[in-house]
Amino acid sequence: MKINTKIIESNLKINFNNKKLLIQSLTHKSYSEKYNNEKLEFLGDRVIGLVISKKLLSLYPNENEGVIDKKFSYLVNKKTCALVGRQLNLKNFIKTGNSLRYLRSNDEKIISDCCESIIGALYLDQGYSAAERFILKNWDSFLKKSVITRIDSKTKLQEFSLKKFKKLPIYKSFKPTGPNHNPIFKVQVNISNSKKYFGLGKSKKLAEQNAASKLVKSLKI
């Protein structure tokens, strides 16, 4: 498969100085064990992390570290990188071996890795500023969505308990009640020096969240 760099550059809206870097960033290891995008993907992953971290700190100067970390995880995970890759139509340009000749739309890891490797290649070709502009432009819609990210009560309680007491919250489950087709779960939770709070729910997970929510509210955290 021959890669037409002009078409790709037009698609990415970037002109590479070193076309070989662009071609390498699109070359999967199934095509070549020696000349592939693995190291560029490694670099791109770090560049994305740095750019997104910096942006989040400027967007949310008053948020605590736990909230920012949750937003960060959402923005840099494989799923988000793959979505960016699909928006850029990278699936049409990835150079693969015979075993992967026809990439499926759900080949999330390959598309995600390719997205990261292109950013790594751009960083080497044009420096941090160019990579930052590219990332912020293509992650813009995801950064806007990050404003709705919230820490759930279980996570908030766990972070508080570990920070203050170096211990995890203690959850105790009770035997479900109600009919088999529609059981009600009951869970108790407490942390060091706290009262015990109970939660009900249609699943154990929901019951834990409800119990944790009551305790979090009582602690005013």
* Full-model pTM: 0.68
Q: How confident is the model at residue 77 (pLDDT cuts 50, 70, 90)?
A: very high
Say which range, 37-41, 100-104, 214-218, has the weakest mean pLDDT. 100-104
Domain boundaries, given as residue ranges, for the chain: 5-148, 153-219
Say which range, 44-58, 87-101, 183-197, has the weakest mean pLDDT. 87-101
Q: In CATH terms, are 5-148 and 153-219 the same topology?
A: no
Q: How big is the chain, counted in residues?
A: 221
Give the torsion through C-alpha atoms of 93, 133, 52, 46, to 10 deg.
60
Cβ atoms 185, 207 nearer than 8 A: yes
State the alpha helices, DSSP H only, in the chain: 5-12, 19-25, 38-59, 65-76, 78-87, 108-126, 128-138, 140-145, 153-165, 204-219
What sign does the dihedral 32-34-38-44 (CA atoms) show? negative
Matching CATH number, 5-148, of 1.10.1520.10, 1.10.760.10, 3.40.50.720, 1.10.580.10: 1.10.1520.10
CATH architecture of 153-219: 2-Layer Sandwich (3.30)
Greater pLDDT, 126 or 30: 126
Name the average pLDDT for the chain. Answer: 91
Q: How confident is the model at residue 149 (pLDDT cuts 50, 70, 90)?
A: low
Return the pLDDT at 148. Answer: 60
Cβ atoms 70, 148 nearer than 8 A: no
Return the pLDDT at 106. Answer: 47
Active site residues: 45, 116
**Highest mean pLDDT out of 9-23, 96-110, 151-165:** 9-23
pLDDT beyond 80 at 146: no
In this prediction, residues 168-193 reach a mean pLDDT of 95
Cβ atoms 96, 114 nearer than 8 A: no
pLDDT beyond 80 at 3: no
- Tell which residue, 76, 157, 78, has the closest CA to residue 111: 78
In this prediction, residues 180-191 reach a mean pLDDT of 95
pLDDT in tens, 32-43: 889 999 999 999
pLDDT beyond 50 at 63: yes
pLDDT beyond 50 at 105: no
